[in-house]
Structure formats: structure tokens, C-alpha cells
Structure 1
Amino acid sequence: MGRRPMPVGTYGKIRVESSGPKRYRARCRYRDFNGKVYDVERMGTSRTNAENNLKAAIRDWVTPVAGATVTASTRFRDVAARWLAELVRDAEREFRSWGTIDTYRNRLEGLVLPAVGDLRMNELSTPILDALCKKVRDNSSASSAKTVRAVLSGVCAYAVRHGALDANPAREITRLESKRAKNRPQKSRALTAVEVLDLLKRLDQDERAAKDDLPDLVRFFLGTGERTGEALGAHWPDFNAEARELAMSGNVIRVRGRGRIVNRGKT
């Protein structure tokens, strides 16, 4: 009769050996919940330290994925770089907006990485990520905090897909509501007909404005109500002369490292 296998979720005898001055290696065999047995080892500055590191690794164990470049011990900043590169590839295939990519990159580099960039994926927790989002909300705005939450959720979802995390810790971040403004901004008003005619007259008579096509552009604004980037992205092929309709299929944006481009992700 063969020896009975270890119960799933348990590990065998821990062996610790010296591998140099103040360097110890702790080893054991661990049977995962998928039934497979893995050899696990961790280093430490003492026998006790190495053994504790090994036990912590087993406690935070995530099943390895064949060929995976992201693991539970990969730092957040390295996973974030891979996630952002994936978004850039999507934008190059026009599946995502370049404007969104730049927004995510700015929040990632300016707010997220300084706070959690050096943490390993298995060190992330909902309380840590929740506290970061609340800090951004209180110091900046709810809008920035929501973008930070989207970045955190995207990076953690990438880690889940590659087997580095079992669940997304950003999923349970609290709702991020904005504070009520103490001073409401002054309500904007529309130009009167007289003001519109005066504006167009001044533009038509200005050589610099005419050279830069401002008279036509301002008339386009007045006739459509489109935003600046969308108006600049208008193309004749999108205009149906018979129906007198224009399909807005993109907007002009400035992308880091690419300059001004027409973003076809805008509809």
C-alpha cells in the first residue's frame, strides 16, 4: 500500500540549510488545492527568518501559471507597466481612446506608483487601496480619486488574469463622492443675437483670424455646439450633404510621445 498523499493546502517538513554568511534557505513541499505538489523555498538572514519567510509564502500562495511573467511576488509598478502597455496596444488598434491612456498614465505616475509602486502583488489589500483613493479624493477631487480607482482595478484585474492574484482587491473600494461646493460657480449664459453678429463681424475683418480659419470654426461651433477637439476632428467624408448631417467620429487630442492626433475612439 502506497503512502497517503498530503492533504490539499498543507505542507511537509521544513528543512533549513546555510548557504553563506547570514544566508539561510528554507525548503518544503506544498500540496496546492489543485492537487499538485510544489517545491517551495525562501531565503532569510537566520534559520528562523528563512522559516518564517517560507511560511508566509505558503500563507499567501497563488497557484503558478505556466509561462507567467507576473507572479504574486512581482512588484506593483512592474505589473502596472505591463497593464499600461496592453492598453497602448489596444489604442493602436483603435479599441481604446488615446486620451484615456494619457489620463491613466498621468494618475499612475503621479499618484499611484509613489504610494504603492514598490509593494508586491500579494501585499496589496483593499484597506491599503481604499485609503489611497480616499486620500486622493480629500486632497484633490472625487473625479481624480475615481480615475485612481480605475487604474488600481485595471492593474489588479491584469494580475488576476495572469494568476498573480486570486481576487481583485480594488473591487471593494468605497464609493467616492464629491464634497458639496461651498461657492457655486457662476452660471454661464448664451450670447445674444446682437453679440453673435458682432463677434462674427470682428472675426471676418481680422486678417489673422481669417488666416487661421476662425470665422468658419466659430460658425461651426455656433451651428453644432460641438467641443473644440471634436470640431477640429470633423472630416468631409463624415458629412451627409443630402441629410445635412455630420457624424462626429473622432476628436483631436495631444498624446504624449505622438503629438496631436485624431482620436477615433470618440463617437
Structure 2
Amino acid sequence: MPRPPLDIGTYGKITRTQLDETTWQAETRYRDHDGTTRKVRARGTTGAKAEAALKKKLVDRNHQAGGDTLTLDSTIGDLCALWLQDVDASGRAQATKDYYRRIVDRTILPGLNEVRLREATTGRIDRFLRAIPKPSTARDARVALKQAFALAARYDAPPVQPCHRRIPATSKPEEAESAHPRRHSDAPAPHLAMAERAARRTQTRLRPRRVYRRHDRNRRPHRRSPRTEVGGHRL
């Protein structure tokens, strides 16, 4: 039975060979991103150093070939850092960018920084969001996490979207929010939307205004005088 091929961007078993008294060589089979499996070698003064040099060479080879930035072994901290770069490059208002960064730094990273993407299950993310005392902060954290995991899906990193559930209403403020379904959407918080509207209004004020001609209100329409009859004849 033929040996199954390696996954793209992965390598097989590493073997060490002592070439002379001061030189070791580490070798493995690596499957490039074109689907071809090639042998990759590296040398060092010891077997451990040769293997370490080989692994570093494989990592560099993966990045140069356009390898994925995120994997299942990446952490949520790595994901949030990559997502914030995407947010900074977007056309959102600066207030929205700053607020998302504060949500990540103050809320998400203290609780999920070292969690691997393969460990980011729906139940674990749901328990994290439920533990946030302020409902508005929990909602914004959920929006940030959902957008971050949507970005990770472009790298085929997460097996599922763990933030597809909405935060259930467990207190009076949340019950009040349940009467307004639009507040549970993935849109930013109301104060972020206000900041974006203010930025748009500022841009609108900077545009040149159109000149409109005013109508002459003093001009009266011509009226025909009423006709009268004298002796059966119209005048």
C-alpha cells in the first residue's frame, strides 16, 4: 500500500546523520505549496543544532511560499493582533478603531489570550462572554470575536465559527434590549455608530455647497379681470 502524501506545508520524520566529528546533517521530506515533495537539509555542529536549523529553514520556506499566517495551534492573541491590523487598514472611523483595540486589550486578551484556535469551542467562548459583568461590553466583545474569527476563516484556521450564538437576556437591561432586535446585530455599539455618523457629517460639511436660485416672491401672477354683461353684450 503506498504511503499517503504529506499535507501541503508539512514535513515528515527528521533524521540526523553525523558527517564527521564536527558536522551533523538533519534531513526531512517537505511538501511544498505546489504539491511536490522535496528533501530539505540543514547542518550544524551537533545533531540538535542541525535539527533546529532545519526546522527554522522549514518555517522560512513556508512563509516564503505564501504559507498560512494562522493555524489551529495559533492563539486567540495572535488572531486578535492580525484582526486589529485589518481594522487599522480599513476605512472605519478612528474612534471605532480605538474602541475595538480597547475591547481586545482590556476584555478579550485577559481571558482568552493563550487559548488555541483548536480549543476555541462555542461553549468556551460562550462561558467567557457570560462571565463579563457588563452586557454592553459582552456584546461588543462578541462582535469583535466574531469578526476576528471570520478573518481566521480566510486562513482556514478555525474548524467552526464559535461566536454564532447571541448573548441571552439574563438581566433587565438585556430584556430591554430584546425589545429592539437591531441591537443584537453585528453592528458596532451605538456610541461607535454615532462617532461614524459625526465623521460623515464633518466630511459632508467640507464638500462645496450647491448654489440655489431663490424665486422672486414679489412677482404676482397675471389675473384676468372678470367679464360683465351690459344689455346682453359682454364687455
Q: TM-score, with normalisation over the residues of structure 2?
A: 0.49
Q: TM-score, with normalisation over the residues of structure 1?
A: 0.44
Higher-Rg member (1/2): 2
